[in-house]
Structure 1
Amino acid sequence: MSKTLVATPDPESGKKGPKSSSKLRDGVMKRGTTWYYVIRVKDRETGESKPKWVGGFATEDDAKAARDEARVKARRGEYVDRNVITVGEYLDEWIEAHAVEIKPKTLKDYRDIINRYVKPHIGGQKLQAVRPATITKLYRDLMAGGGKNGRKLSARTIDYVHAVLRKAFRDAVEIDQVLPSNPVERAKRPRRTPTEPGTVWNPEQLRAFLAIARRHRLFAFFHLAAYTGARRGELLNLRWSSVDLEACEITITGSVAFIDGERIEGTTKTGRSRVVSIDAGTVAVLKEHRRKQAADKLLAGKEWRGSNGHVFTTGWGDPIHPDTVSSLMPTLIKSHNAPKDGPKPVEPLPRARLHDLRHIHATTLLLAGVPVHVVAARLGHVDPSITLRVYAHVIRAAEASAAEIFAKAMGE
């Protein structure tokens, strides 16, 4: 993956090095407007000592400081050969090398982050010239105006950029061995103000939403999303073969996404399947939904296209596009808040996203005293610590009454 620095014979030393415009003094010399240093490094395979020229330093002091650091690493056997590959070139090769082991949706997200936020800013810089300050400045620049039309980026987006760069530069150190250490690990990210999940309706508001959603043919989808906390892609991937109405449970086995117009089915976010219990009311909703789907199939006849047994389909049996249910959510909220027939509700529903149904499910359970590890299992979090972090504000609210509960149990 690495590219080597092209060197020319130095007229004074006879060794491979840059053409000089000044004399070599203590391993440092100037060529044109930049400074170089040279050290001798043992080849790991042959054991032969060879000169290594490194250039591109703005001042003599910079070259000397880098020379001293390189000499120490060379004595320890930790020296990494200077390389002229740029950040953009390395990231392009890195993402291609990992394409086979990254989920398609994640791969697309990585590429978008690299092409949109990283390469325009530091893509042309030498990979080995990147320092923690380089990455810190990148984050500051993105926060100030790295979005579309120069809009500010959120700290959350910066976190995504940081996560991708940390992975890539870690591989540059550990796998490709073109860096001695990971500068991203020591970069300073913008301070984040702790934020709670999206809008969390109370049970009464959720009931109002589901009442208006009941009029739509996809009511069962919204009901199941609210009553299980499952992700959008997980529910749209659900098959009837994974629904056990007798045992009152569904098995989440995978997820679905659309990438560049193509439907892609894969594993869940964690790569694991999980069993989620459902209540009697949800069983009744699914039975009614299955009956209506059977009626759709009978009406479509030979035109029915639902051969894969998806729980949620169009009237012709095609799988539902993820954007369909996401865009339907605000439409249903608007139908409740501004009905075409009848008076407006006393309490309009606050704006909420489809994913917020997942937050409502988790929050309601936690406030009701359901153990965190149980909620984590229902949500498909690989570790309860994730649930603790995401819903820390809810857990703190529940803990506030813990002292009174204990005192009451003691009869005080």
Structure 2
Amino acid sequence: MRSKGQGNYYFDKKSGRWIWTMRYTDRSGCPRRKKITSKQLEVLTGKVNKYLHQTADNTIDDNVSVEQWACIFLRSGRAAWKGRTYYNYRAILRRYIVPTYRKRKIKEIRPFELEQWYQELLATPLSISTVLTIRRVMEVMMSAAVRNGLIDKNPVKLSRPPRNPKKTIKVMSITDMGRILSAAWENIDDNASDYRVRYNSHRNYVFVYIAAMTGCRAGELTALRWSDWTGDVLQITHSVSLTGEGKKIITDPKSDTSSRILKLDSQSVAVLSAWQKYQYCWRMRVGNYYSDRNLIFSNAAGGIMSTTNFIRRYWHPLLASLGLPPMGIHSLRKYHASFLAQQGVALPAIAARLGHADCTVLERYYLAPVVNQNEIIAAIEKFWDKKKGQ
């Protein structure tokens, strides 16, 4: 029995087994022969179909389908991607991209039909940010296809993205930050009946303070160990991320530029010193309850701090108590960047402190536009004053 491109089935009387064989060419270009056997034809057929499916996922040619390329793309990128990137890409591909274009050849995808698809997704309805995320994942996947010579141009890059009205960047003022830190200090509860509440109230204040004074990401702070802090220097070398199963793990930072050394101001050093002493006394008090992992911002049992619980149970109620609008914990990072810019620190220096490769992200998402133009006019007046003095 023969099926074109699917190998050859036959029954071997001598061994009493069904045999399937197929010739193929390996990576080196040498001809090879694959052989699978079984006593029953039905069992052999199942084995062969499984083998052909696996090899199809690894087959790269001009006729590769979206589904096949998505499998190869995920498998090849898993080791290189950091944090939750793999799981996020896999979810987008499985839920949206593969079901839509499953058997279509990647070389047949055209920009105009992608633009129509974006509008269909918006009508389902999906939010504009979700549709843009889907487009970005597909763009990365198709860029990998271009890089491997499967297609000449990336159709996703050539397609026009749906319009996303730019949101005004909101950055809390120095006054608001002062109120937040004062409220966090006042919320330290040394009289709580639950001893874990006492510990968490101290830790939460220090967490907010160090986040505002360093601009670190929440994942970077929760991964910090006491060995990362020496004098007025803080080394950012790790970050906390979630696996596909939702387990918190300490991994490499988000990017190469995320690994950095930060100088601390004297007050931040004092805050960390006081917290280190408090945590030591806490460990001595609770004994074996505390599993020491040397984490600066550990939970009450010594494990990795849950930023989700921190935001829901502490951060949002803290803002609400001050009459401030809801903001993510990332707003502390934005505040740090905006404050430094207002003080005249050069943007490349701020970008390096935040762990950005350049100033692009900093200018687009972190720095609020100048609303009060009196400063601009004052600067221009100074220019003319200098000209008159020459």
Assess same fold via TM > 0.5. yes
Is 1:407 aligned to 2:378, yes or no? no
Match of 1:174 among 147, 161, 166: 147
Number of the residue aligned with 2:336: 361
Map 1:263-278 to 2 at 5 A.
263-272=248-257, 273-278=259-264
Q: Kindly provide the amino acid, as one letter, of the partner of residue 257 in structure 1.
A: S
Deviation at 1:292, TM superposition (A): 1.2
Question: Does 233-242 or 184-193 show the bigger shift?
Answer: 184-193
Map 1:96-111 to 2 at 5 A.
96-111=75-90
For the 8 Å contact 2:74–2:90, the answer to whether it is kept is yes
Q: Kindly provide the amino acid, as one letter, of the partner of residue 323 in structure 1.
A: T
Number of the residue aligned with 2:72: 93
Q: Kindly provide the amino acid, as one letter, of the partner of residue 157 in structure 2.
A: E
SS for the counterpart of 1:107 is helix
Number of the residue aligned with 1:39: none
Q: Kindly provide the amino acid, as one letter, of the partner of residue 180 in structure 1.
A: D
Deviation at 1:318, TM superposition (A): 1.6
Report Cα offsets for 1:280-336 as digits up to 9, x if no partner.
Answer: 221121112111101110012233201x311011222122123222323112223x2
* In structure 2, C-alpha distance between the alignment counterparts of 1:249 and 1:287, rounded to whole Å: 13
* In structure 1, C-alpha distance between the alignment counterparts of 2:381 and 2:207, rounded to whole Å: 43
Report Cα offsets for 1:148-172 as digits up to 9, x if no partner.
Answer: xxx3322x33332222212211222
Is 1:226 aligned to 2:212, yes or no? yes
Number of the residue aligned with 1:258: 242
* In structure 2, C-alpha distance between the alignment counterparts of 1:170 and 1:125, rounded to whole Å: 17
Q: Kindly provide the amino acid, as one letter, of the partner of residue 118 in structure 2.
A: Y
Is 1:320 aligned to 2:291, yes or no? no
Stretches of structure 2 lacking an aligned partner (at least 5 in a row):
7-28, 30-59, 189-200
Structure 1 runs of 4+ with >4 Å offset: 396-400
SS for the counterpart of 2:96 is helix
Report Cα offsets for 1:79-127 as digits up to 9, x if no partner.
Answer: x9752x4323321221112111111411111112212332233334332
Q: Kindly provide the amino acid, as one letter, of the partner of residue 187 in structure 1.
A: S
Deviation at 1:267, TM superposition (A): 1.9
SS for the counterpart of 2:249 is strand
Give the total of aligned pairs: 313
Go from structure 1 to structure 2 and tell me whether the alpha carbon gap of 1:249 and 1:393 turns closer, same or farther (over 3 Å shift): same
Q: Kindly provide the amino acid, as one letter, of the partner of residue 127 in structure 1.
A: I
Deviation at 1:233, TM superposition (A): 0.3
Report Cα offsets for 1:175-207 as digits up to 9, x if no partner.
Answer: 1x332332112111012222234x422111112
* In structure 2, C-alpha distance between the alignment counterparts of 1:389 and 1:226, rounded to whole Å: 20
For the 8 Å contact 2:83–2:242, the answer to whether it is kept is no
Number of the residue aligned with 1:379: 354
SS for the counterpart of 1:296 is helix
* In structure 1, C-alpha distance between the alignment counterparts of 2:184 and 2:285, rounded to whole Å: 23
Number of the residue aligned with 2:23: none
* In structure 1, C-alpha distance between the alignment counterparts of 2:205 and 2:298, rounded to whole Å: 12
Is 1:153 aligned to 2:127, yes or no? yes
Is 1:126 aligned to 2:126, yes or no? no
Is 1:184 aligned to 2:180, yes or no? no
Root-mean-square deviation over aligned CA pairs: 2.6
SS for the counterpart of 1:275 is strand
Number of the residue aligned with 2:364: 389
* In structure 1, C-alpha distance between the alignment counterparts of 2:75 and 2:156, rounded to whole Å: 21
Deviation at 1:212, TM superposition (A): 2.2
Go from structure 1 to structure 2 and tell me whether the alpha carbon gap of 1:239 and 1:178 turns closer, same or farther (over 3 Å shift): same
Number of the residue aligned with 1:204: 175
Number of the residue aligned with 1:32: none
Match of 1:249 among 233, 238, 241: 233
* In structure 2, C-alpha distance between the alignment counterparts of 1:116 and 1:332, rounded to whole Å: 37
* In structure 2, C-alpha distance between the alignment counterparts of 1:392 and 1:137, rounded to whole Å: 34
Stretches of structure 1 lacking an aligned partner (at least 5 in a row):
8-44, 46-79, 146-150, 338-347
* In structure 1, C-alpha distance between the alignment counterparts of 2:286 and 2:145, rounded to whole Å: 56
For the 8 Å contact 2:84–2:241, the answer to whether it is kept is yes
Deviation at 1:400, TM superposition (A): 7.4
For the 8 Å contact 2:248–2:304, the answer to whether it is kept is no
Map 1:19-168 to 2 at 5 A.
83=63, 85-145=64-124, 151-154=125-128, 156-168=129-141
Match of 2:165 among 189, 193, 196: 193
Q: Kindly provide the amino acid, as one letter, of the partner of residue 92 in structure 1.
A: C
Which structure has the highest helix share of the two?
2
* In structure 2, C-alpha distance between the alignment counterparts of 1:295 and 1:200, rounded to whole Å: 37
* In structure 2, C-alpha distance between the alignment counterparts of 1:367 and 1:254, rounded to whole Å: 29
For the 8 Å contact 2:223–2:250, the answer to whether it is kept is yes
TM-score w.r.t. the length of structure 1 is: 0.70
* In structure 2, C-alpha distance between the alignment counterparts of 1:81 and 1:263, rounded to whole Å: 39
* In structure 1, C-alpha distance between the alignment counterparts of 2:166 and 2:137, rounded to whole Å: 21
SS for the counterpart of 1:115 is helix
* In structure 2, C-alpha distance between the alignment counterparts of 1:372 and 1:104, rounded to whole Å: 27
* In structure 2, C-alpha distance between the alignment counterparts of 1:407 and 1:391, rounded to whole Å: 28
Report Cα offsets for 1:206-232 as digits up to 9, x if no partner.
Answer: 122222222222210111111111100
For the 8 Å contact 1:296–1:316, the answer to whether it is kept is no
* In structure 2, C-alpha distance between the alignment counterparts of 1:386 and 1:353, rounded to whole Å: 18
